[in-house]
Amino acid sequence: MSYAGPEFEPPRRPRRRPLTMALAALVPGALLGWVVYEGLGAVGDGDGGSESAAVRTPSATVSSATESSPTESSPADDEKPSPSPTTSSPSSAPAASGPLKDKVVVIDPGHNPANFQHTAEINRKVDIGTGYKECDTTGTSTNSGYTEAKFTLDVAHRMRTLLEKQGATVKLTQDGDRSYGPCIDERAEIGNEAHADAVVSVHADGSGTGNRGFHVILPGTVNSGAADTRPIVASSRDLGERIAGNFVRVTGSAPSNYVGDGTGLVTRKDLGGLNLSTVPKVFIECGNMRDTKDAAQLTSGTWRQKAAQGISDGIVSFLRA
C-alpha cells in the first residue's frame, strides 16, 4: 500500500531496537542466511540504501496506472495464480483433516482492483476509533502498471491453497467479487465476526526508489472510541514476528531498509484495520512496488509463491504454538 493514501499515512520513525528475541529464536539462521544470499549476488537482491531513506518521496503516490484500468499481458505458466473457486463467497469449506483443523484464518487482500472506478464510495469517511478515515484507497502499482490490488489477491489465493492443505478454514475479506472495498472498518469486522484465530492483511508498499524490503505492521496499544487493541497487542506481535522470520527464510528478502531499523517490524496506531480488530492481526508490506528490483520480485509468479509460503508458514507456526 502507499502511505500517501488516507488510510496509510507516513508512520513516525520507530525507536531503534534490536531484532526481537522471538524472531531470532524462531529462525536463528534466517537473517544470517540472507546476508550470505546477498553476498553471493543472488538475482533480485540489491543495494540496501540508508536509514535516512525513511522519508517518503513524491514517488510514493499512486501512479496514473492505478487511476485507470491497467492491462497486462498473459503471465507465463509460473506467473499464473492458483485457481480460485468460482463461488463469490469469501469463505472456504473447512478441510477434512490437518494440523490446523478447527482453526480459522482470515486473509485480507489489500484494496480492490475496481476501487478507482468508485472514488465517491471509497472516499466516504468511516470511524476507526481514533478518528475518521476514508473507506479505502486505490493502492499503488509498479511503474509498469501492475497494481497492488492484483498482487494482493494473487498472493491471497496462493495462501488460501497452502493453508487449506493444513486443514484451516480460510476466509477472504474480498475475492474480486465486489465492486469496491470493503471499507477498512468492514475488513476488521469480517475477521472479528469469523472469530478468526489469525488475520493477515496483504499489501505492497509505494515508497521511493532505493527503498527496499518487506516489513510487518503490528497494532499499537489503542483504547479510544470503538477501538481497543489491548487484548490483541501481544498475540499480534507474536504472529507478526513469526511471519517476519519465515518470510526471510523462504523468500530470501531482507527486512525493510527504510522503516523498522532492520527488524522488519513496525508498530502503528493509525490503521483502522488494526485498531478495530478484536482478534490477532497484522499487515505485511511484501516489498516496494516503486523500486525496480523489488518490483521484479513482486511481478514474478515464482516469487509470489514464495511470499505466500513464507506468510503461511508464519501463520502455521503461530497457530501451532
Residue 96 reports pLDDT greater than 80:
no
Percentage of the chain exceeding pLDDT 90: 70
Query: Which residue stretches of the chain are H helix?
Result: 21-26, 30-39, 64-67, 119-122, 148-165, 184-193, 233-251, 272-275, 292-298, 301-320
Partners of residue 201 on adjacent β-strands = 108, 283
> For 137-155, what is the mean pLDDT?
98
Query: Over 60: is that where the pLDDT of 85 sits?
Result: no
Task: Indicate if the pLDDT at residue 141 is higher than 80.
Answer: yes
Q: Is the pLDDT of residue 294 over 90?
A: yes
SS3 label, residue 146: coil
User: Where does the pLDDT of residue 6 fall: very low under 50, low under 70, confident under 90, or very high at 90 and above?
Assistant: very low
Helix (H) or strand (E) holding 276: none
Q: How many residues comprise the chain?
A: 321
Report the pLDDT value the prediction gives residue 186, as an integer from 0 to 100: 98
In this predicted model, what pLDDT tens digit does every residue of 232-261 receive, in sequence order?
Answer: 999 999 999 999 999 999 999 999 999 999
Is 189 one of the catalytic residues?
Answer: no
pLDDT of 259-287, one tens digit each? 999 999 999 999 999 999 999 999 999 99
Separation CA 156–CA 296 (nearest Å): 19
What pLDDT score was predicted for residue 97?
84
Q: What is the pLDDT of residues 15-69, one digit of tens each?
A: 444 444 444 444 444 444 443 334 333 333 333 333 233 333 333 333 323 222 3
Residue 48 or 158, more confident: 158
In one letter, which amino acid is 289? M
Q: Look at residue 164 and tell me whether its pLDDT is greater than 70.
A: yes
Q: What is the mean pLDDT of the chain?
A: 80
Q: Are 209 and 59 in contact (CB under 8 A)?
A: yes
Superfamily of domain 21-47+61-66+98-320: Zn-dependent exopeptidases (3.40.630.40)
pTM of the model: 0.76
Q: What is the pLDDT of residue 91?
A: 53
The domain ranges of the chain are 21-47+61-66+98-320
DSSP state of 243: H
- Of the candidates 134, 164, 241, 285, the residue annotated as catalytic is 285
Selected residue with higher pLDDT from 291 and 7: 291
